[in-house]
A and B are shown apart, each in its own frame.
Chain A
Amino acid sequence: MEDNNYQIKLENFEGPMDLLIYLIKRDDIDIYDIPIAKITEEYLRYVEMIKMLKLDTVGEFLVMAATLMQIKAQMLLPRPQVVDGDETGPDPREELIRKLLEYEKYKQVALVLDKKEDQQYGVFYRQNMVLNDEDYSLEVSLFDLLAAFKKVVEETSENVKEIVYDEIPLDQRIREIIAMLESKEYLVFSDLFVSNSSKAYFIVTFLAVLELVKERQLAARQNALFGEIRVYKVVASETKPADTENQGSDTVAVPQEKKDESTDESIK
């Protein structure tokens, strides 16, 4: 093939599927009747180049290359006759075609999203107001957390499945919660309990929150007594190294501003 065909930027062929669709379009091939031998050959040329460029996606391209070669080999074999009628057995290309078409479907959706993005791009909204942060400045006691947990359990008890054995390691759940907070400023406490999970999952989740609060990785806060509880990730500067007054007690979170004395009492 002419060299200038290879000048197309490779990042556009994010994966093997993109490359195949590109080749099919370029050569005006009927997707329902792909000449496997020809397309495999073309495909391998590109893979060679990807190898040469040492792109880290080369593995994915090689998997597809193997698939193509397997289909090519199968095409050479006579297809088994189906018992009834003259129909031959399944086309070895069938699975590949199905996948290409499904992928193509989502590429079209992506175009729709692209258009919508274009229409909406440049429209801005208000920033979250500082007010919101201050609202959630009330530290939460262990009992508040327990009360919130009880509420969650009661509200979802009908949906909770009783599972005989379903072990979820605590540290795994802890990592999950931390991971969830990577992308968010806070989590709403009740949202941590997905309604269709098991009771054991609820309990482990709750223990994970307690553990994280104890280790001062999380701070549970609410905007009003008995209000919605949110858990925030504690930023380094926020962690107060020594607060002797409360250390060693069963305090769940150290109130940084003692706005509410009764809350403070209850945790001692």
Chain B
Amino acid sequence: MEKEDIKKVIETLLFISSNPISSTRFAEVLKAKEEDVKAALDELVRDYEPRALQVQEIANGYVISTRKEFSQWIREFFKEKTALRLSNSALETLSIIAYKQPVTRAEIEQIRGVDIGGVIDKLLERKLIKMVGRKETIGKPMLYGTTEQFLKYFGLKTIADLPPMEEFSKDNAAAAVNVEDENIIEERTDDNENV
């Protein structure tokens, strides 16, 4: 298949797919070499730069999405169902799940010191987490992990896109507790408590 054709087929598939498609999958379908697919994808990403839509590399694949700048028009159009941003509590719970997965509810509660049943339900509902199995321990508690939707929601290519845990080392945490200005905390307490 000619290079231009590869690009056109890829664009077609991106257009009809709601989920990210990996370059491997493209190569499989197109019966083309993965490097050719990747080259075509790179070009496509560039081609879209001046356009209203964008080709995003996200959640282990590529997907066409709208741009942030035009979100208000989408919201205007789909008035009734725009998802709210996540609460601080949801973000903290997700942070723990993202780094400790697979993890049980009890293990998360151990860290956060609060009951998280309600939060877990909301995260499941929004498909940001999923049940990934059961822990082989007393009561066989459910284990949770992050989803493809999680990657999409946060604009991550893979879970490895998150900074390594060492960046949030003990000392940095201690520094964050001790150094930060009290005023900042007061200001941000409304939705994102910056402690």
Contacts and interface: CB of A to CB of B under 8 A. Distances in A.
A113 interface: yes
Contact of B91 (A17, A114, A184): A114
A91 interface: no
A106 B92 contact: yes
Interface in B39-78: 56, 63-69, 71-72, 74
B152 A103 contact: no
A119 B56 CA distance: 13
Interface string A14-30: 11111001101110111
Interface residues of B, number: 65
A137 B182 CA distance: 59
A66 interface: no
A128 interface: yes
Interface of B: 16-18, 56, 63-69, 71-72, 74, 85-86, 88-89, 91-92, 94-96, 98-99, 111-115, 124-125, 127, 130-134, 152-156, 162-163, 165, 168-170, 172-174, 176-178, 180, 182, 185-186, 189-190, 192-195
B111 A57 contact: no
Interface of A: 8-9, 12, 14-18, 21-22, 24-26, 28-32, 57, 60, 64, 99-114, 116-117, 119-129, 179-180, 182-184, 194, 196-197
Contacts of A105: 165, 168-170, 172-173
A183 B68 contact: no
A21 B195 contact: yes
B177 A110 contact: no
A22 B155 contact: no
A9 B194 contact: no
B155 A119 contact: yes
Given A17-B113, A125-B152, A182-B124, A101 B170 contact: yes
